[in-house]
């Protein structure tokens, strides 16, 4: 047993060094040449892992896989890097009579991922579940089982599952403004220049996987907006032209694709990200905080999906008073969310201004939506609120 | 009292003739010159209504507004025109001490609509609610109150509220394939040609209001798809190229904008609409049926939003057996939905093939998702299922 553990430890250490290094380089560069670089690396990583398991078996030992534990308890907030990070505790899956099915399923899932990457294809979690129906006794009975195995594989390789070819079910995130997205035609390989200034009242819909996109822009900042309605107003009035910016509609809590898109765009083009959401514990604690530092139960992917450079433009508790906004009373769930954040959220605990903001909101006992500005006229937000705010970005909340 | 009723009746009749005529012409043409034609008509309609109320008051009579009752009980299915239609029962709102506030609110909402139309602006229902905060004693206390008044105004003029400048909160609907959308730049008035073949892995996101869009296409049909994941697969593999079609992702039950977009595109370009959803009572009864014939509680707008030309490509109960698809057992709510449809849904009651399909589904006791085809390989849907289906469109369910 002692010997086995040692072998594993060594193998894991070697693996981690190699992989983390490779991945962060990739995340930093994130260029549109990614595909050509991704294919050999990802499928190589999978092959290496499989070969190491095979070797262990050939030596007559029990192979073992190690996955980081994915929970808030295994997470710390690192202000310097800007997101929730795994503390490093791991769970192990050793091949035994009891684990043989899950072990086999994990290997088959790795094999499916290798196929996807090599063939430049994608599979949603649901599709992957159905593919398993042809895996004989390794087939999954229910989708939650296969979802967990995909999450495990993602955590095992310390990558995001889009890099493994697994894409989310849901789409989300619309873009308009001073941005050209670079994509390519799959059949011809020809570069496609997608000009987001030329969609009129419509918008560019962010694809499910954004790893291979490139960007050209002369914009000064990204404005990430909570509601589709507010986005549509700013698009309708060409706000991006006057403000020289890129508008992104998150439609509530942003999807993985939307978060990754904002992150890659902001990283690559060194653009600040300003976030415009409702002033309530949900808008601040769920939408903004998830976008900026990620969430606890998905900490193994925060590295790729959070946007540490995001800053909170509004609506702030101060705005409610300054602009005399119509409000709604805080619901019980709002108050609970706010008090919980003040007590347990490592992000809030780190930032004094957020502690003050939450405390103020609780004592005011009200919340306000971004549309509340319409009290002063439908386009008050365009003519007054946003210009006044954007004149002083240093005042944005962290 | 008798006299007053007479006056109202006359005024209403005159109004209805004029409006219904005008609107259906507009709906049929639906050209991108709509804006220039819309502005005078809509604001003229509102002015006429207001003037008629003023005249009644000046004559010392009590003015009255008549709205169609919006419920399933006031609806019939007209197979010839293809959608649920109001039977014509109306509710009245006469100006009295008890109704004075709602009456005033209705008039102010009409006035806001007139401003929106004349200034080519939009307001979401939520924004309209906040605008009312400056209406002194006519302000709304809660948004559901103002929503109802907007619905009333919409029904009063027998138009869809997008034509009145009121747009929904939510967006939805992505497009890729053989279509050029014609829009215009608001500032320059210049025509914008949005080529949906050139979005790579992304897509064109349908705007909240589609009334003013124009279309150019050489496609043979529209394929409306339930899930974003399936849409992304077909986009990724350029399925629209091989099949010469337009792909539209509905993302579950389609939004108003998505339904109206499909309807206008299909009408204007005489394109058949094929619908590809899960085989369960929700996919058939909610998504497909809503798209095709509309819903009961919004019957006053079905004229604009339903797509009577839509036909059901699959997944059919027959497909489950033919393609040996992996299934899930029907949930209790599924069985209830199916038996309810067989008993009460005028659309199902009219179509024998749907009665057979629902009966078969209930006796099979299972449902299948469109992703279930992945059992035979991720791209089985592209290489086998869709080509086999599309070879026999006459077999599609009505």
The pLDDT tens digits of the residues spanning A285-306 come to 889 998 998 876 666 677 788 9
Q: How far apart are CA A65 and CA A152, in angstroms?
A: 10
C-beta of residue A167 within 8 angstroms of C-beta of residue A208: yes
Cβ of residue A387 closer than 8 Å to a chain B Cβ: no
B125 membership: H or E segment, kind and range: helix B125-131
pLDDT of residue A93: 84
Cβ contact, residue pair A205, B170, below 8 Å: no
pLDDT of residue B288: 95
Q: What is the rounded end-to-end Cα distance, in angstroms, of chain A?
A: 49
- Does residue A362 surpass a pLDDT of 50? yes
- Name the residue facing A124 among B198, B229, B373 (closest C-beta): B229
- B344 versus A113: which is more confidently predicted? A113
C-beta of residue B182 within 8 angstroms of C-beta of residue B215: yes
- Does residue A136 surpass a pLDDT of 70? yes
Q: Which residue has the tokens 């593999």?
A: B237
CA-to-CA dists, residue A205 to A72, A175, A196, angstroms? 32, 6, 10
- Name the residue facing B124 among A213, A249, A371 (closest C-beta): A371
Cβ of residue A90 closer than 8 Å to a chain B Cβ: no
Cβ of residue A241 closer than 8 Å to a chain B Cβ: yes
Dihedral sign computed on CA atoms, order B238, B239, B245, B249: negative
- Does residue A391 surpass a pLDDT of 90? yes
Cβ of residue A21 closer than 8 Å to a chain B Cβ: no
User: A73 by DSSP, 3-state: which?
Assistant: helix
Phi, psi at A237, each rounded to 5°: -100, 20
pLDDT of residue A207: 92
C-beta of residue A248 within 8 angstroms of C-beta of residue A307: no
Q: Which of residues 142-201 of A touch B (CB under 8 A)?
A: 167-171, 174, 181, 183-187, 192, 194, 198-201
Cα of A47 to nearest chain B Cα, Å: 22
C-beta of residue A258 within 8 angstroms of C-beta of residue A206: yes
C-beta of residue A164 within 8 angstroms of C-beta of residue A42: yes
The pLDDT tens digits of the residues spanning A332-352 come to 989 999 999 899 888 899 999
Chain B residue closest in CA terms to A327: B130
Which of B233, B225, B235 shows the shortest CA–CA distance to B204? B235
Query: Please, is B251 exposed, middle or buried when counting C-beta atoms within 10 Å of its C-beta (0-12, 13-18, 19+)?
Result: buried
Q: Which residue has the tokens 């004592």?
A: A363
Q: What is the ipTM of this complex?
A: 0.79
Cβ contact, residue pair A372, B130, below 8 Å: yes
Which range among A64-68, A156-160, A187-191, A273-277 has the greatest average pLDDT? Answer: A273-277
C-beta of residue B228 within 8 angstroms of C-beta of residue B156: no
Cβ contact, residue pair B181, A202, below 8 Å: yes
Number of CB pairs < 8 Å for A and B? 194
CA B348 remoteness from chain centre: 19
The pLDDT of A250-267, averaged and rounded, is: 92
Cβ contact, residue pair A127, B209, below 8 Å: no
Q: What is the DSSP letter of B255?
A: P
Chain A residue closest in CA terms to B197: A185
CA atoms within 13 A on the CB side of B233: 28
Q: How far apart are CA B279 and CA B361, in angstroms?
A: 9
Task: Sort out which chain A residues have CB atoms less than 8 A from B200's CB and list them.
Answer: 181, 183-186, 192, 194, 207, 213
The residues of B that are catalytic are: 130
Take residue A375 and report the two structure tokens written for it. Answer: 């009290």
Beta bridge partners of A64: A94
Cβ of residue A379 closer than 8 Å to a chain B Cβ: yes
> A112, A115, A229, A320: which to substitute to probe chain B, counting the most B Cβ within 10 Å?
A229
Q: Which of residues 247-266 of A touch B (CB under 8 A)?
A: 249, 251
CA atoms within 13 A on the CB side of B351: 21
The pLDDT tens digits of the residues spanning A192-244 come to 999 999 999 999 999 988 988 999 999 999 999 999 889 999 999 999 999 99
Task: Sort out which chain A residues have CB atoms less than 8 A from B201's CB and list them.
Answer: 183, 186, 207-209, 212-213
The share of chain A scoring above pLDDT 70, in percent, equals 88
Chain A residue closest in CA terms to B381: A127
pLDDT 10s per residue in chain B (398 long)?
Answer: 333 333 333 333 333 333 332 223 333 333 333 343 455 688 899 999 999 999 999 999 999 988 887 766 677 777 787 777 777 778 888 888 888 999 999 999 999 999 999 988 889 888 999 999 989 999 999 999 999 899 889 888 888 888 899 987 777 799 999 999 999 998 888 999 999 999 999 999 999 889 889 999 999 999 999 998 899 999 999 999 999 999 999 988 898 899 999 999 999 999 999 999 999 999 998 899 989 988 766 666 777 889 999 999 989 999 999 999 999 999 998 999 999 889 988 889 999 999 999 999 999 999 999 999 999 999 999 999 999 999 999 999 99
Cβ contact, residue pair A131, B174, below 8 Å: no
Q: Which residue has the tokens 């369910």?
A: B397
- Name the residue facing B232 among A199, A208, A231 (closest C-beta): A208
Cβ of residue A122 closer than 8 Å to a chain B Cβ: yes
Phi, psi at B75, each rounded to 5°: -135, 145
- Does residue A38 surpass a pLDDT of 60? no
Which of B269, B258, B254 shows the shortest CA–CA distance to B221? B269
* The Cα angle at residue A82 between residues A265 and A157, in degrees rounded to 5: 75
Across all residues in chain A, what is the average pLDDT? 85
Beta bridge partners of A85: A76
Pairing of the two strands A273-276 and A310-314: parallel
- A169 versus B173: which is more confidently predicted? B173
C-beta of residue B189 within 8 angstroms of C-beta of residue B183: no
Cβ contact, residue pair B375, A130, below 8 Å: yes
- Does residue A85 surpass a pLDDT of 60? yes
Chain B residue closest in CA terms to A252: B170
């Amino acid at each position: 047993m002692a010997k086995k553990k040692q072998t594993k430890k060594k193998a894991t250490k070697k693996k981690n060094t190699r992989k983390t290094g490779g991945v962060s380089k990739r995340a930093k560069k994130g260029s549109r040449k990614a595909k050509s670089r991704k294919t050999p690396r990802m499928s190589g990583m999978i092959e290496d892992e499989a070969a190491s398991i095979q070797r262990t078996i050939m030596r007559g030992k029990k192979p073992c896989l190690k996955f980081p534990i994915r929970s808030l308890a295994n997470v710390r907030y690192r202000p310097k890097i800007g997101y929730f990070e795994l503390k490093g505790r791991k769970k192990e899956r050793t091949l035994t009579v009891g684990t043989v099915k899950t072990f086999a399923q994990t290997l088959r899932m790795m094999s499916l991922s290798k196929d996807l990457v090599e063939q430049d294809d994608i599979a949603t979690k649901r599709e992957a579940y159905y593919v398993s129906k042809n895996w004989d006794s390794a087939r999954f009975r229910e989708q939650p089982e296969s979802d967990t195995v995909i999450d495990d594989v993602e955590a095992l390789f310390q990558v995001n599952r889009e890099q493994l070819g697994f894409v989310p079910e849901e789409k989300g995130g619309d873009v308009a403004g001073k941005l050209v997205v670079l994509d390519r035609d799959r059949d011809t390989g020809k570069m496609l220049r997608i000009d987001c200034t030329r969609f009129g009242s419509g918008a560019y819909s962010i694809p499910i996987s954004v790893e291979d996109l490139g960007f050209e822009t002369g914009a000064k900042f990204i404005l990430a907006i909570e509601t589709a309605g507010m986005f549509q107003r700013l698009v309708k009035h060409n706000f991006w032209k006057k403000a020289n910016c890129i508008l992104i509609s998150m439609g509530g809590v942003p999807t993985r694709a939307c978060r990754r898109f904002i992150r890659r765009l902001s990283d690559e083009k060194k653009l600040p990200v300003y976030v415009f959401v409702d002033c309530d514990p949900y808008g601040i604690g769920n939408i903004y905080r998830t976008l900026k530092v990620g969430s606890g139960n998905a900490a193994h992917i925060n590295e790729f999906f959070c946007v540490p450079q995001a800053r909170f433009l509004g609506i702030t508790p101060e705005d409610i008073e300054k602009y005399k906004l119509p409000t709604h009373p805080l619901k019980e769930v709002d108050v609970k969310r706010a008090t919980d954040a003040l007590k347990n959220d490592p992000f809030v605990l780190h930032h004094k201004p957020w502690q003050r903001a939450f405390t103020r909101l609780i004592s005011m006992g009200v919340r306000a939506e971004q549309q509340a500005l319409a009290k002063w006229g439908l386009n008050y937000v365009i003519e007054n609120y946003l210009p006044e705010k954007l004149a002083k970005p240093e005042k944005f909340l962290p």
